[in-house]
């Protein structure tokens, strides 16, 4: 649920439909007249691709999506090292899990069972109780290992890997229920949403109406799942993640980012 970073660019178009013309004769003695029937409604246009990825011929053919875990793990090991990949990465259905998680980050909830990374170690730390319940700053240290990994990521190297495997990301996105959408456009939208995460000031107040903790401030609780993840990580960790996302966005996106908080 917590962490992600895979990225890219390609191009697209739109469709049009045309109506025909029919001839018919009017009443006796009338000369034949050419009449155009009502124009047909144009077919729905394909969504324009806003952030195309570069088309690169891979050195070796790509595996099919359902057989891609081994090659993807090996490729990621070249970026992060085998120990880090074993420590943080869920070994099965890597690309599908990445696509589902990225698609869910701007939504209210994540599909926890489909996250591509292993859960963050340690328990969620709080301070106080009842009306004085707050997010304990010691909680932020739980994210230190993965934030350190994010900070050390070579954005160009990771982007090159993403571009190489992009057809598989696109296929997984289509299989998710978006046959006419473009995954890299969705990725850029997700990055922009994450970059819009506000900074917090002072103790972050919590409530526990049921099993899970929630932010007491409605303006924070109403944020997307991705933004709430960064809020739970604390301002310093969030700043590191945002900086790396900004680097990645500069490589995979053509459109300028929206104004962020």
pLDDT by residue (tens digit) across 124-139?
Answer: 889 998 789 999 999 8
% residues pLDDT > 90 (the chain): 63
Contacts of 234 (CB under 8 A, 6+ apart): 137, 139, 140, 143
Whether the per-residue pLDDT at 40 is higher than 60: the answer is: no
In a domain, 257, yes or no: no
Q: Identify the weakest region by mean pLDDT among 131-140, 192-201, 231-240.
A: 131-140
Identify whether 156 is part of a domain.
yes
Q: How far apart are CA 113 and CA 101, in angstroms?
A: 10
Q: What are phi and psi of 84, to 5 degrees?
A: -65, -40
Cβ 63 vs Cβ 71: under 8 Å: yes
The number of distinct structural domains making up the chain is 1
Of the pLDDT bands very low, low, confident and very high (cuts 50, 70, 90), residue 14 is very low
Q: Residue 33's pLDDT is what?
A: 39
Domain holding 99, by residue range, is: 22-252
- The verdict on residue 16 lying in a domain is no
Q: Is residue 7 part of a domain?
A: no
pLDDT value at 10 more than 70:
no
Q: How far is CA 223 from CA 159, 194, 240, in A?
A: 28, 10, 20
Q: Is the pLDDT of residue 183 over 90?
A: yes
Does 248 fall in a domain?
A: yes
> Does residue 2 sit within a domain?
no
Arithmetic mean of pLDDT over the chain: 82
Q: 111 versus 33: which is more confidently predicted?
A: 111
Nearest to 188 by CA among 12, 4, 7: 7
Does 3 reside within a domain?
A: no
Residue 259: inside a domain: no
Instruction: Provide the pLDDT confidence category of residue 179 given band limits of 50, 70 and 90.
Output: very high
């Amino acid at each position: 649920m917590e962490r992600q970073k895979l990225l890219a660019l390609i191009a697209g178009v739109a469709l049009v439909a045309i109506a025909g013309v029919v001839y018919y004769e009017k009443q006796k003695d009338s000369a034949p007249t050419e009449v155009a029937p009502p124009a047909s409604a144009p077919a729905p246009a394909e969504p324009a691709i806003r952030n195309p990825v570069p088309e690169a011929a891979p050195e070796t053919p790509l595996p099919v999506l359902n057989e891609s875990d081994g090659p993807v793990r090996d490729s990621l090991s070249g970026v992060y090292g085998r120990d880090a990949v074993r420590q943080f990465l869920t070994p099965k259905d890597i690309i599908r899990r990445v696509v589902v998680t990225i698609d869910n980050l701007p939504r209210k909830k994540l599909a926890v069972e489909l996250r591509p990374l292993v859960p963050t170690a340690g328990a969620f730390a709080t301070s106080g109780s009842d009306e004085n319940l707050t997010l304990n700053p010691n909680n932020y240290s739980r994210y230190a290992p993965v934030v350190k990994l994010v900070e050390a990521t070579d954005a160009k190297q990771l982007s090159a890997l993403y571009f190489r495997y992009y057809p598989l990301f696109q296929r997984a996105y289509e299989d998710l229920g978006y046959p006419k959408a473009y995954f890299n456009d969705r990725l850029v939208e997700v990055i922009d949403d994450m970059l819009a995460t506000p900074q917090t000031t002072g103790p972050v107040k919590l409530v526990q109406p049921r099993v899970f903790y929630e932010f007491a401030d409605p303006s924070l609780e109403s944020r997307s799942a991705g933004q709430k993840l960064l809020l739970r990580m604390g301002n310093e960790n969030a700043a590191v993640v945002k900086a790396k996302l900004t680097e990645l966005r500069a490589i995979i996106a053509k459109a300028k980012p929206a104004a962020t908080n």
